[in-house]
Amino acid sequence: MEWLFHGPDLAWTLRSDSGASGDQYHEAEAWTTAIAEFRFAAEGFSLIYHKGPVGGDAEVYVDGTLVTTLDMYAASPLWLNSAVYTYSGPALNPNVVHVVEIVHAGGGNIYVDRLDLPAYSASYNDTCPD
């Protein structure tokens, strides 16, 4: 599977930066009603994102349930290990396809770098956004 990016035209932009995984990440600007969606089969996940001076808030949903709100603001850019959310809710069934959604919730821009899966079936998963 792969990332699906929803929203009005031009809601999501692929950006380049050497601080990002594979030197690329996706950004949704503040004016959008953007949603990034990923389907996977695993017991959990970690979302790697970017924090920066124009960062806003993003809600994270797992199978339709709000699990956290991320503040993507930082005075200086933060990448990789400095901007990670690890799902800590009830264990997910690795034999079922789950959906994680990152939803623009206000403020500035939101960013998606990658999703890390601890144990997964490659037939269901793609850990790098294209």
| Interval 79-124: pLDDT, tens | 988 999 999 888 899 889 999 999 999 999 999 999 998 744 454 4
Which position has the token pair 């998963």?
125
Q: How many domains in the chain?
A: 1
In a domain, 102, yes or no: yes
Say yes or no to pLDDT of 61 above 60. yes
Q: Residue 125 domain-assigned? A: no
**CA–CA gap between residue 45 and residue 118 (Å, rounded):** 6
For residue 121, tell me if it sits in a domain: no
pLDDT digits (tens, 9 = 90+) for 26-57: 999 888 889 999 999 888 999 999 999 999 99
Q: Tell me, what's the pLDDT at 88?
A: 87
Contact 6, 34 (CB under 8 A): yes
How high is the pLDDT of residue 23?
Answer: 94
pLDDT at 120: 45
pLDDT attached to residue 65: 96
Helix, strand or coil, per DSSP, at residue 49: coil
Residue 122 resides in a domain: no
Which residue range is the domain that position 52 belongs to?
A: 4-116
Which band of pLDDT confidence, cut at 50, 70 and 90, is reported for residue 130? very low
* Domain membership flag for residue 126: no
Let me know: does 55 contact 105? Beta carbons within 8 Å. no
Q: Does residue 129 fall inside a structural domain?
A: no
What pTM was computed for the model?
0.87
pLDDT for 1 equals: 56
**Per-position DSSP letters for 26-40, written without gaps between them:** EEE-TT---EEEEEE
CATH assignment at residue 98: 2.60.120.260
Calculate the alpha carbon distances from 19 to 3, 15, 31, 49 in Å: 20, 11, 25, 11
